[in-house]
C-alpha cells in the first residue's frame, strides 16, 4: 500500500495553515506546516514533501523567493510548488505555479 502524498503548507497566518491542514488531512494527505520561508526551506531539506502550497506574500522571505531558492537547490522533479495568497491585493492571479525542473 502506498503512503499518501506529503504536503507542505507555508503561510505566516496561523488561521490559513489550520484551515488548509484540516481540509487536507480529512482527505487523507500527510500535512507538514511552516510559518515562514526559512522554516519551509529547512522542511524541504528534511522532509521532502510531494507538494508545497506556498503563500506568496510573507514577511522576511516571499513565496517567490522560496521558489527561487528551491530551484537553486537540487530537488526531485516530482516536487511541485503552488503559490497562493488570501490577500486580494497580493495579485494572487499573477502568482507562480509550476513544476520544478
Does some domain include residue 94?
no
Q: Which residue has the higher pLDDT, 99 or 31?
A: 31
- At 49-75, the pLDDT tens digits run 988 899 989 989 998 898 888 888 755
Give me the number of domains the chain comprises: 1
Residues ≥6 apart with Cβ < 8 Å to 82: 51, 52, 53, 54, 97
> Exposed, middle or buried by CB within 10 Å (0-12, 13-18, 19+), for 89?
exposed
Residues ≥6 apart with Cβ < 8 Å to 77: 99, 100, 101
Does some domain include residue 17?
yes
d(CA 72, CA 77): 13
Does some domain include residue 95?
no
Does some domain include residue 96?
no
Does some domain include residue 1?
no
Residue 41: give its domain's CATH number: 3.40.50.2300
Does some domain include residue 100?
no
Range of the domain at 45: 6-89
- At 12-46, the pLDDT tens digits run 999 999 999 999 999 999 999 999 999 999 999 89
Which residues make beta-bridge pairs with 34?
10
Does some domain include residue 101?
no
Does some domain include residue 34?
yes
What is the distance between the terminal CA atoms of the chain, rounded to a whole angstrom?
Answer: 28
Amino acid at each position: 500500500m502506498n503512503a499518501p502524498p506529503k504536503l507542505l503548507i507555508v503561510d505566516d497566518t496561523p488561521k490559513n495553515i489550520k484551515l488548509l491542514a484540516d481540509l487536507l488531512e480529512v482527505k487523507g494527505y500527510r500535512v507538514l506546516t511552516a510559518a515562514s520561508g526559512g522554516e519551509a526551506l529547512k522542511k524541504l531539506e528534511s522532509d521532502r514533501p510531494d507538494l508545497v502550497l506556498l503563500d506568496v506574500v510573507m514577511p522576511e522571505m516571499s513565496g517567490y523567493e522560496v521558489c527561487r531558492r528551491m530551484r537553486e537547490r537540487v530537488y526531485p522533479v516530482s516536487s511541485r510548488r503552488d503559490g497562493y495568497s488570501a490577500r486580494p491585493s497580493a495579485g494572487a492571479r499573477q502568482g507562480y505555479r509550476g513544476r520544478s525542473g
